[in-house]
C-alpha cells in the first residue's frame, strides 16, 4: 500500500509539474491578452517612480544618455531611471521576447522597421494624448511627427531626423584628376564619375574605386522610386512592380561591368571599416549625419555633402527619415512619467547639447538650439537646410514586416552583385518574399 501511495504521490507530482508547464506555456502563448492599467493623464510629481529605459547603441551613446538621465533625475528627484542597452540585433531580440511576455521597458528606443509590429499589435501606447500636452511638439516638423504613425495613431516620436546625401572625398578626387561635381548631378553623370574614379584609381595602393555598389542601398531605392513617380508602400501594398525593381538592380550589373564600384568580394571583407573612411572609394551615398563617422575613418577623409543624383529639377524624391524614435510600453505603470521623460529627451536644449549631432539632426528646434556645433555639425546642418528646400518625396510608412523587407532587399541584392542571380530573378525572389511578409 505504501507503494501505491507513493505512486499516487508521484502521479500527483507529475500532474503538478505538467500543469505548471502547461500554465507556463499558456502564459507564453497567450501572454498578450492582458491589457494595461488606465494611464494617468498627468504625472503626479510627488509620486516615487522608477522607469526602465532601454536603447541600442555604442558606449559613447550610453555615456550621453547617462549624462542626460543624471540631469533629468536632478530635476525630478522622485523619479529613478534604470537603464540597459545593447547592439541593434541583440536589442531587438530582447525587446521581442519582452513583448511576448508583456514586460517591455517603460520607455525604449524604437525604429521605423519595427514600429508597425509594436504599434499595430498594441505593445506600445499611442502617444496622441500626450503630444502637444506632456510632450511638446511645437519645435518638430509635422511630417516627422506623422512618420511615427500606424493606422492613424502616433506610436513613436522621432528624436532626430536625417536625409540621404552624396559624400565626395574632394581631395582624393582632385588627386586622381577627376572633376569634383558641382550642383545637381544626374544618374548618368554620377555613373560616369564613378567609372572615371576607378579608371584613375586602379594604380593606387590601396586601389581606389568610385563607390560601393549603390544598387544595394534600400533607402536610395526609395528616393529613386519617388523620382519615378512611384512609392514603396501604397495603401499597405507595394507601390511598384517587379520590372521596376529589376530595372533598379540592373544598375548593379552595369556598375560592376564598368568597374565603377568596389567588387563585392572586397566589400564583404570591410566589416568594421567604412570604405569611404578608409579612402578606398571616393564617393558614396549615406545618411548625412554619418559625416562624423566617415570623417573619423582610418584615412580621415575630408568630405563634402551634396544631393544624391536626380534627373529632373524639382523631382528629387528626397524625404526626412525619422531617426531614433522613442516609444512607451503598453505595459508601463507610469505612462505619464514616461511621456514627461520623452519630452525631456526630445526637446530639452541641455539634451541637445549632450548629444550634439550624434543622434542625427535633432527633430526638435529647441533641442537643436542647445547644440554648440563643430565644423562637421555645421556641414550637416547646412546640408540638411539646403536639402529641406528639395524635399518632394515621402518617407515610406511603417508597415508590418518592414524590417524583413529591408533586410531581404539587402541580402538579395548581394546575389545580383555576385552575379548569382539576374536582376529579374532577384526581383521575382524579393516579390515572393514580400508577398509572404505583407500577407
Partner 1 sequence: MTADTLTPPVTTPAEPPIPQAAPARRNRRKWEDIRAGYVFLAPWLVGFLLLTAGPMVASLYLAFTDYNLFTAPEWVGFDNFIRLWNDPDYLKAWQVTGVYVLVGTPLKLASALGVALILNAIFRGSGFYRSAFYLPSLVGASVSIAVVWKAMFIDHGPVDSVQQILGFPAGGWVGDPEKTMPMLILLAMWQFGGPMVIFLAGLKQVPQELYEAASVDGAGPIRKFGAITIPMLSPVIFFNLLLETINAFQVFASAYIISGGTGGPARSTLFYTLYLYFRGFRDFQMGYASAMAWVLVLVIAVVTVIFFRSSKLWVHYAGDEGR
Which run of H or of E encompasses 2? helix 2-30
Q: What is the CA radius of gyration of the chain?
A: 25
Closest separation in Å from C-beta 359 to partner 1: 24
Which run of H or of E encompasses 231? none
Q: Does 411 bind partner 1 (CB under 8 A)?
A: yes
- Residue among 372, 363, 385 at smallest CA distance from 135: 363
Cell numbers linked to 302: 575630408
Q: Does 50 bind partner 1 (CB under 8 A)?
A: no
Closest separation in Å from C-beta 347 to partner 1: 30
- Nearer to partner 1 by C-beta: 99 or 361? 99
Stretch near partner 1 under the rule CB under 8 A, chosen from 40-48, 91-99, 237-245, 253-261: 91-99
Q: Does 33 bind partner 1 (CB under 8 A)?
A: yes
Q: Does 435 bind partner 1 (CB under 8 A)?
A: no
Q: Pick the binder of partner 1 from 11, 15, 17, 298 (CB under 8 A).
A: 17
Q: Does 203 bind partner 1 (CB under 8 A)?
A: no
Stretch near partner 1 under the rule CB under 8 A, chosen from 132-140, 229-237, 259-267, 390-398: 259-267
- Which pairs with CB-CB distance under 8 Å and at least 24 residues apart come from 182-189? 184/307, 184/310, 184/313, 185/306, 185/307, 185/309, 186/309, 186/310, 186/311, 187/309, 187/310, 187/311, 189/309
Q: Does 19 bind partner 1 (CB under 8 A)?
A: no
**DSSP secondary structure string, 127-178?**
-TTTBTTTB--TTB-HHHHHTTEETTEE--EESEEE-EEEEEEHHHHHHTTP
Closest separation in Å from C-beta 198 to partner 1: 17
- Dump strand ranges (E) for 275-335: 283-287, 303-306, 321-322, 325-328
Stretch near partner 1 under the rule CB under 8 A, chosen from 42-50, 51-59, 232-240, 400-408: 400-408
Q: Pick the binder of partner 1 from 19, 25, 50, 374 (CB under 8 A).
A: 25
Q: Does 187 bind partner 1 (CB under 8 A)?
A: no
Q: Does 175 bind partner 1 (CB under 8 A)?
A: no
- Nearer to partner 1 by C-beta: 73 or 88? 88
Q: Does 265 bind partner 1 (CB under 8 A)?
A: yes
Q: Pick the binder of partner 1 from 137, 161, 267, 364 (CB under 8 A).
A: 267
Q: Does 273 bind partner 1 (CB under 8 A)?
A: no
- Nearer to partner 1 by C-beta: 153 or 192? 153
Distance CA 196, CA 178 (A): 7
Per-residue b or e along 139-171, where b marks 16 or more CB atoms closer than 10 Å to that residue's CB: ebbeebbebbbbeeebbbbbbbbbbbbbbbbbe
Q: Does 100 bind partner 1 (CB under 8 A)?
A: yes
Q: Rule CB under 8 A: which residues touch partner 1?
A: 1-6, 8, 17, 20-21, 24-25, 28-30, 32-33, 89, 92-93, 96-97, 99-100, 117-118, 121, 123, 264-269, 271, 401, 403-404, 407, 411, 414-415, 417-418, 420, 429, 436-437
Amino acid at each position: 500500500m505504501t507503494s501505491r501511495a507513493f505512486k499516487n504521490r508521484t502521479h500527483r507530482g507529475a500532474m503538478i509539474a505538467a500543469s505548471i508547464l502547461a500554465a507556463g506555456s499558456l502564459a507564453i502563448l497567450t501572454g498578450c491578452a492582458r491589457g494595461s492599467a488606465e494611464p494617468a493623464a498627468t504625472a503626479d510629481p510627488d509620486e516615487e517612480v522608477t522607469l526602465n529605459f532601454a536603447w541600442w547603441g555604442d558606449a559613447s551613446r550610453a555615456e550621453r544618455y547617462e549624462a542626460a538621465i543624471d540631469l533629468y533625475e536632478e530635476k525630478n528627484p522622485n523619479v529613478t531611471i534604470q537603464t540597459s542597452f545593447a547592439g541593434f540585433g541583440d536589442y531587438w531580440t530582447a525587446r521581442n521576447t519582452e513583448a511576448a511576455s508583456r514586460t517591455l521597458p517603460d520607455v525604449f528606443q524604437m525604429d521605423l522597421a519595427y514600429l508597425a509590429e509594436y504599434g499595430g499589435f498594441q505593445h506600445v501606447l499611442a502617444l496622441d494624448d500626450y503630444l502637444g500636452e506632456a510632450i511638446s511638439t511645437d519645435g518638430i516638423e509635422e511630417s516627422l511627427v506623422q512618420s511615427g504613425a500606424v493606422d492613424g495613431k502616433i506610436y513613436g516620436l522621432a528624436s532626430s531626423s536625417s536625409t540621404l546625401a552624396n559624400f565626395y572625398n574632394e581631395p582624393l578626387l582632385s588627386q586622381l584628376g577627376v572633376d569634383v561635381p558641382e550642383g545637381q548631378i544626374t544618374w548618368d553623370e554620377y555613373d560616369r564619375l564613378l567609372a572615371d574614379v576607378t579608371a584613375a584609381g586602379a594604380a593606387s595602393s590601396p586601389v581606389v574605386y568610385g563607390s560601393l555598389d549603390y544598387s544595394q542601398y534600400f533607402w536610395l531605392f526609395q528616393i529613386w522610386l519617388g523620382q519615378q513617380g512611384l512609392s514603396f508602400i501604397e495603401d499597405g501594398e507595394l507601390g511598384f512592380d517587379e520590372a521596376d525593381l529589376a530595372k533598379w538592380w540592373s544598375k548593379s550589373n552595369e556598375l560592376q561591368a564598368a568597374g565603377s564600384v568596389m567588387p563585392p568580394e572586397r566589400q564583404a571583407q570591410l566589416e568594421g571599416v567604412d570604405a569611404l573612411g578608409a579612402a578606398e572609394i571616393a564617393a558614396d551615398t549615406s545618411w548625412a549625419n554619418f559625416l562624423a563617422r566617415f570623417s573619423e575613418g582610418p584615412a580621415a577623409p575630408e568630405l563634402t555633402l551634396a544631393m544624391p543624383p536626380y534627373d529632373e529639377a524639382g523631382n528629387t524624391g528626397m524625404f526626412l527619415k525619422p531617426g531614433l524614435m522613442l516609444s512607451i510600453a503598453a505595459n508601463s505603470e507610469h505612462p505619464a512619467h514616461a511621456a514627461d521623460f520623452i519630452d525631456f529627451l526630445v526637446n530639452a536644449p541641455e539634451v541637445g547639447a549632450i548629444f550634439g549631432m550624434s543622434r542625427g539632426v535633432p527633430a526638435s528646434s529647441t533641442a537643436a538650439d542647445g547644440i554648440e556645433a563643430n565644423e562637421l555639425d555645421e556641414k550637416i546642418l547646412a546640408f540638411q537646410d539646403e536639402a529641406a528646400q528639395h524635399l518632394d518625396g515621402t518617407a515610406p510608412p511603417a508597415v508590418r514586416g518592414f524590417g524583413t523587407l529591408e533586410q531581404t532587399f539587402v541580402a538579395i541584392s548581394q546575389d545580383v552583385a555576385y552575379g548569382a542571380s539576374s536582376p529579374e530573378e532577384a526581383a521575382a525572389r524579393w516579390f515572393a518574399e514580400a508577398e509572404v511578409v505583407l500577407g
